[in-house]
Structure 1
Amino acid sequence: MTGPRITIIGSALSGNKGAAAMLEAAIQTLEERLDDPRFTLFSMYPAEDAAQNPYPNLDIVAASPRQLGVTINSLALAYRILPFLRPLLRRRSKAIDALAGSAVLLDQGGITFTDGREKFLLYNIASILPALNTRTPVFKCAQAVGPFTNPVNRRASRTFLPKVRTLVTRGRITHEYAEGLGLRNLFAGADYAFSLELDGTEEAAVAAHVDLGFFDGDVVGVCPSVVLQKKVDQRGGDYVGQLVTFIEAVRAQGKRVLLIPHSVRTGTEKTHNNDLPLCRDIHARLQPGDDLLFVDRELTSQQLRYLIGRCGLFVASRFHAMVSSLAMAVPTLVIGWSHKYREVLEMFDLEEWAFGHDQLTPEHLAARFADLDARRAEVKTKLDDHLPGVKRTSVRQADLIADLVRSRS
């Protein structure tokens, strides 16, 4: 007898390693709670994900935005309204067979149904609509939603979010937005990536590519983001230039700098879910030296977390790079673009260490970093105090998912 089937959308193994961390955390935690579960990932990058897939119980199904929005949604609608076609649809479509045979769809989109991101709204809907049409419960893993002031987003959210079995909110601000919309299918959680555990192989794997002796000194990790670059440059700023200035100033203080991309797609210069071209540009403008280490390759989410954990301080613009640094109890300064950063830092009583991209100037960045450096012991104490509780809250969603799966067996 085979175990329960679980379909996942909104995450990946390749590209954004925050998405990989959420996916792998789900696999880790649910394997501990369920007997022989089988997972299916609806993937934007099926070839890349398949090439990096180490899990024998994870199947990869192609689900590019066009495939998802047109083909899979159309077939799921046909499945709903034409019952006599259901056996044929399951034989002909791996996606429909996976959904119809699954106990639950896990939606791991990191931020959905949010004002200012209306161009992603159709994708947010298309991600969950096939499951609704196949009568598969939708469990939205910890994510940011809201605000809902835009009429288009508000109407879509009021239509679709109540149909979700459970929406795990990723922090206080998101929870208040969701409650303000009248939602009652909520669980106040923490990002699923906080549940990700290292397996002990990371040091040896990283040492094959990186001289770990670099971390004998005081190392500051810097993780840029092409998303931040676009926002800063659109308002006339110079994101690359500002980070170069900052990194050189940190090195002048006698510290070492780790330049590390947390979202990488190997073999392409496309910048969607890919910070490597940006990091290469930054690195090319920096003075070479033994006090600078650039990770110019794609690593796994666990390997990245291990490296981040070796830092003394961290400056993050990628959300899940921040999650990894917090999970490794590294004092962190965050340059963000959404409430999703601040509400996670609030869980550690550290929200003062986030500021928006609209405040990014060389002077402000240098001043905030100097404050963090001076208060690192205080910040580290708060991280150590709060981290166990945040991890418990994160892993609680695995209990909820497992309970839902068992109730449908």
Structure 2
Amino acid sequence: MKILIVGGNFNNKGAELMLNTLVSKLNELFIEANVYLSSLVGTKTQRETLNVLELKGPLLHVGDGDKKFYFNWFLNYLPWYKGEGSLWDMDVIIDISGYAYSSKWGNSPVTNVDFILKHKSKKTKFIFLPQAFGPFDNDFIINKMRSVIERSDLIFARDKISYENLKNINNKNNIELFPDITLSYKSKTSSFEESKEVLIVPNKRMLDKSDNWSSNYISLLNIIIDRLNIANEKVSILIHDGEQGEDKELVNSLKGDFNVLLEEDPIKLKQKLSKAKFVIGSRFHALASSLSNSVPCIALGWSHKYEELFELYDLTDFAFLELDKLSILNKIDILLDRNLNSDLRKKITQQQENISDQNKLMWEIIENYIKK
């Protein structure tokens, strides 16, 4: 069996964690399978470290422009890009884009994945692993997404809003609701007493994806740092998109006493988050990594995906999609309290057991579908 992963990358540490989680699970479920990535995803060393094979022929990420993507796709029809290990030789394509199919990212991703589904080999099964979908706010992208749903084998939305966004377009029975796959990728959990620092995880997208935050995000982070400094807490700014990302640019605008942490390995990154006293973050997978290891969090977000993640843990009042300074500072005071923090850890752990059960069921559905 040959399985191609699309939608993943090594640029964003959340996306890389999804890659690690998926490859690990595929190796567990399909021992004899060969797992492939496009030669345009990461470096040769990164692909070899992940222990995946290189697709014979180029394949761009769905987020690239339409015309560029189409030209790249048709290169795969050239004779030297066919045969063993080529696009046309794949038994399964699994998409882990995370959050690409939405009007917030323009029409190109939906247009390009629709193109893949129309032109892939008829034998190839196409599965979307849990991710966020929508909103879709124009007729063009709605019609394209309707086609995507119709041609896909399985689509897993990772939250109720995404699920409804898809169902409102096409009520086909191939759409399921299950949590993000990284929530079951465990690290060792620390207690409140063992935790030494509060981690703040910024996201530059907060400046260009949300009118609610663009003018006050940096000032709020500075207020938060000041509050934690007054409480004599050790504060670290954790850069979650790596050395080549944009988030580290925000550090120059921050004031106060803090360290800066930069870690390229997504597994070690999750381990760092698991040892935090609590996390204040705007990166979805930083928050997911923390919550899945029973670390309390406050989300400062720009999309419904943050609220929906926190709803899984019954913590929606700790997720903020717009500025509410007094409420945010109140939540910080709660998390600074040893007893309240410990109680929240117990609550999160209980919710995680249910999430892990859901995740296990999803993989059973996928395994049975692929093997049938």
TM-score interval, normalised by the smaller of the two chains: 0.7 to 0.9
Q: State the alpha-carbon separation in 2 of the partners of residues 44 and 127 from structure 1.
A: 17
Question: Residue 7 of structure 1 contacts residue 98 of structure 1 at CA under 8 Å; is this kept in 2?
Answer: no
Question: Residue 232 of structure 1 contacts residue 238 of structure 1 at CA under 8 Å; is this kept in 2?
Answer: no
Q: State percent identity of aligned pairs.
A: 21
What RMSD over aligned residues (CA atoms) do the two structures have, in Å?
Answer: 2.9
Match of 1:368 in 2: 331
- In the alignment, structure 1 residue 73 sits paired with structure 2 residue 102: no
Match of 1:209 in 2: none
How far 1:232 sits from its partner (Å)? 5.7
Match of 1:108 in 2: 96
User: How do residues 123-138 of structure 1 correspond to structure 2 at under 5 angstroms?
Assistant: 123-127=109-113, 129-133=115-119, 134-135=121-122, 136-138=124-126
Structure 1 residue corresponding to 2:151, chosen from 159, 163, 166: 163
Runs of 5+ unmatched residues, structure 2: none
Match of 1:333 in 2: 298
In structure 2, relative to structure 1, the CA distance for the partners of 1:306 and 1:369 (3 Å cut) is same
SS at match of 2:127: strand
How far 1:393 sits from its partner (Å)? 1.9
- In the alignment, structure 1 residue 92 sits paired with structure 2 residue 96: no
Q: State the alpha-carbon separation in 2 of the partners of residues 150 and 335 from structure 1.
A: 27
Q: Which amino acid aligns with 2:73?
A: N
Q: State the alpha-carbon separation in 2 of the partners of residues 363 and 313 from structure 1.
A: 18
* Residues 15-59 of structure 1: per-residue CA shift (max 9 Å, x gap): 211101111111111111112322222365533x64464133343
Structure 2 residue corresponding to 1:400, chosen from 362, 365, 369: 365
Q: State the alpha-carbon separation in 1 of the partners of residues 145 and 153 from structure 2.
A: 14
Q: State the alpha-carbon separation in 2 of the partners of residues 233 and 147 from structure 1.
A: 16
Structure 1 residue corresponding to 2:3, chosen from 1, 6, 14: 6
* Residues 356-376 of structure 1: per-residue CA shift (max 9 Å, x gap): 0xx225444323322444542
User: How do residues 205-284 of structure 1 correspond to structure 2 at under 5 angstroms?
Assistant: 218-231=196-209, 237-264=215-242, 266=243, 268=244, 271=245, 274-279=246-251, 281-282=252-253
Q: Which amino acid aligns with 2:109?
A: Y
* Residues 39-86 of structure 1: per-residue CA shift (max 9 Å, x gap): 222365533x6446413334365525259612343356xx6xxxxxxx
Q: Which amino acid aligns with 1:9?
A: V
Match of 1:342 in 2: 307
How far 1:189 sits from its partner (Å)? 0.7
Q: Which amino acid aligns with 2:259?
A: L
Match of 2:17 in 1: 21
Match of 1:294 in 2: 260
SS at match of 2:130: strand
Runs of 5+ unmatched residues, structure 1: 80-87, 204-214
Q: State the alpha-carbon separation in 1 of the partners of residues 39 and 238 from structure 2.
A: 25
Q: State the alpha-carbon separation in 1 of the partners of residues 72 and 369 from structure 2.
A: 24
- Matched residue pairs, number? 360
TM-score (norm 1): 0.79
Q: State the alpha-carbon separation in 1 of the partners of residues 118 and 369 from structure 2.
A: 16
* Residues 114-168 of structure 1: per-residue CA shift (max 9 Å, x gap): 2433x2x222331353254122221000011133443232222112222110000
Question: Residue 331 of structure 1 contacts residue 376 of structure 1 at CA under 8 Å; is this kept in 2?
Answer: yes
How far 1:402 sits from its partner (Å)? 2.7
SS at match of 2:49: coil
Q: State the alpha-carbon separation in 1 of the partners of residues 141 and 331 from structure 2.
A: 35
Structure 2 residue corresponding to 1:183, chosen from 169, 172, 187: 172
SS at match of 2:272: helix
How far 1:352 sits from its partner (Å)? 1.6
Q: Which amino acid aligns with 1:184?
A: N
Task: Compare the two structures and name the one with the higher helix fraction.
Answer: 1
